[in-house]
């Protein structure tokens, strides 16, 4: 891999205590640290593939994978154009902060069909992109993916009650639920009760608008929902915690 990336010196790759990795990362430039962390991640991924699934992974294959993956990550960071499978160019959109004194609520739901496990993730941010609140929660007795997405919108609307006098934009990457939240007439869908509860929660806020966004713009809420599934946790973090961390 050293033929393609700049990495820490071999003599420094020695476990010399509990904080050896932190000390190593503090010693090198950020681009070298990025390369090294990607290499560690790939080693762990290969280890799991070999031990857990019995796969055979070549060194050359890992080198090629890491080289392509790093290029893709750098393009996403720069919002550069990427080629899709048809050779067309597409622009990766990133989360955009709200304007003025409006707060933005991003929500997402995670649902595993095989087990029925479900969870929601919520993040509320201001115009500077600073998270005022982040939350994740597991949900029991969820019917399907649409219901968990609707429950995520309900959770986000209720979380906004802490700033009841503010104006909000609630964003989800689920088009079906956003369409239902914007409809004025009575609905008979399976998620109609959750939609109605969300609209009641909306009435308690100063102002709340709903918007559909792409998945790549909803990564924080997505990761929070999956955190609840992986760790089996229900957590809420407030701005005071982020600022003191």
Q: What is the pLDDT of residues 24-37, one digit of tens each?
A: 787 888 888 888 88
Pairwise CA distance, residues 179 & 132, whole Å: 27
Alpha-carbon radius of gyration of the chain:
22
Q: CB–CB of 153/171 below 8 Å?
A: no
Q: In sequence order, which residues have a C-beta less than 8 Å from that of residue 84 and are 6 or more positions away?
A: 90
Residue whose C-alpha is closest to residue 156's, from 120, 192, 191: 120
Q: Name the pairing type of β-strands 89-91 and 131-139.
A: unpaired
CB atoms within 10 A of CB 46: 17
Which parts of the chain have pLDDT scores under 70?
A: 15-18, 74-92, 240-245
Backbone angles phi, psi at 132, to 5 degrees: -90, -25
Class of domain 103-244: alpha beta
What confidence score (pLDDT) does residue 154 get? Answer: 97
Backbone angles phi, psi at 222, to 5 degrees: -60, -50
Q: CB–CB of 5/35 below 8 Å?
A: yes
The beta strands (E) that lie in 126-234 are given as: 131-139, 167-172, 207-212
Percent of the chain with pLDDT over 70: 88
Tokens representing residue 54 in the block: 């019995």
What confidence score (pLDDT) does residue 189 get? Answer: 87
Q: In sequence order, which residues have a C-beta less than 8 Å from that of residue 55 and are 6 or more positions away?
A: 49
Identify any residues that bridge with 106 across adjacent strands, giving them in sequence order: 123, 171
What are 106-152's pLDDT values in tens digits?
999 999 999 999 999 999 999 999 999 999 999 998 999 999 999 99
**Residues spanned by CATH 3.30.420.10 within the chain?**
103-244
Residue whose C-alpha is closest to residue 226's, from 108, 95, 104, 106: 108
């Amino acid at each position: 891999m050293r033929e393609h990336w700049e990495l820490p010196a071999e003599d420094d790759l020695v476990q010399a205590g509990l904080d050896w990795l932190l000390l190593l990362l503090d010693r090198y430039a950020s681009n070298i640290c990025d390369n090294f962390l990607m290499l560690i991640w790939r080693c762990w991924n290969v280890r799991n593939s070999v031990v857990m699934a019995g796969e055979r992974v070549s060194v050359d294959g890992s080198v090629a994978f890491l080289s392509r993956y790093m290029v893709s990550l750098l393009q996403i960071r720069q919002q550069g154009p990427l080629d899709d499978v048809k050779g067309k160019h597409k622009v990766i959109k990133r989360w955009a902060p709200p304007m003025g004194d409006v707060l933005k609520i991003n929500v997402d739901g995670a649902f595993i069909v095989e087990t029925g496990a479900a969870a929601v993730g919520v993040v509320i941010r201001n115009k500077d992109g600073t998270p005022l609140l982040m939350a994740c929660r597991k949900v029991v007795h969820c019917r399907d993916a649409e219901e968990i997405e609707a429950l995520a919108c309900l959770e986000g609307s209720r979380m906004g009650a802490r700033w009841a006098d503010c104006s909000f934009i609630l964003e989800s990457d689920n088009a079906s639920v956003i369409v239902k939240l914007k409809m004025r007439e009575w609905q008979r869908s399976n998620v109609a009760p959750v939609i109605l509860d969300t609209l009641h929660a909306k009435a308690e806020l100063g102002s709340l608008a709903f918007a559909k966004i792409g998945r790549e713009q909803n990564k924080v809420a997505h990761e929070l929902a999956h955190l609840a599934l992986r760790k089996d946790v229900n957590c809420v973090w407030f701005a005071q915690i982020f600022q003191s961390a």
